[in-house]
Amino acid sequence: MRLRLQDIVVSLFLTLIILAVAEIFMTTVSQLVGLERFRLQLNILIILFVALKLENPFLAIIIFIVQYFHSLFSIEGWAMGTVAGVLISVIVSYARDIIQFSNAVATMLIVQISQMIWFVIIAILMYIRSGSSDLVVDKLWRFIPESIVLSLLAPVVFNVLELLWKKRNQNILGEAE
């Protein structure tokens, strides 16, 4: 899906609103439904959508903005997620022809694989920064269930995001890409 710079702004703004709603839900109500130790990070799904589905020279900037907004709800910061997101977008740019979102199962599978790449990148950065493998192992135990749930949610979330990005970014011939 090719984008023009001037069409990105409104889509990105609406995406950030959705992210804010999700972050508020996860940080307040999630404990009521038993998610004391786990958090579903919708910013990861949004960044994967951006990396997997969108094409624009300024994808890295979009990823940075989404991560920066996420950092306002978490002390995690924007940097590590930005590195992971941009690297995944680079990997995807070479494999775009073979990635087919033909059905919901394919979407879940692609998102799960992407999340595993995300985890590896973040784990390397965490290990370099802290020098401790305990943190990485601890993160791995939480990553497994969190990533599975995110993958199950991916088809729905991707459909919503496609509505936001696709409708506003039809090409000059009037056809949505």
Binding segment toward other proteins, per CB under 8 A, in 6-14, 70-78, 103-111, 151-159: 70-78
Residue 83 lies near other proteins (rule: CB under 8 A): yes
Residue 146 lies near other proteins (rule: CB under 8 A): yes
Which of 18, 73, 155, 168 touches other proteins by CB under 8 A?
73
Task: Check if the beta carbon of residue 118 is closer than 8 Å to that of residue 51.
Answer: no
DSSP 81-150: HHHHHHHHHHHHHHHGGG----SHHHHHHHHHHHHHHHHHHHHHHHHHHH--HHHHHHHHHHHHHHHHHH
* Closest separation in Å from C-beta 83 to other proteins: 5
Task: Check if the beta carbon of residue 67 is closer than 8 Å to that of residue 47.
Answer: yes
* Closest separation in Å from C-beta 55 to other proteins: 9
Q: What is the identity of the amino acid at 160? A: V
Which of 6, 34, 36, 105 touches other proteins by CB under 8 A?
36
Task: Check if the beta carbon of residue 12 is closer than 8 Å to that of residue 162.
Answer: no
Interacting residue ranges for other proteins, rule: CB under 8 A: 20, 23-24, 26-32, 36-39, 41, 57-61, 63-64, 69-70, 72-80, 82-83, 86-87, 89-90, 93, 125, 128-130, 132, 134-135, 138-139, 142, 146
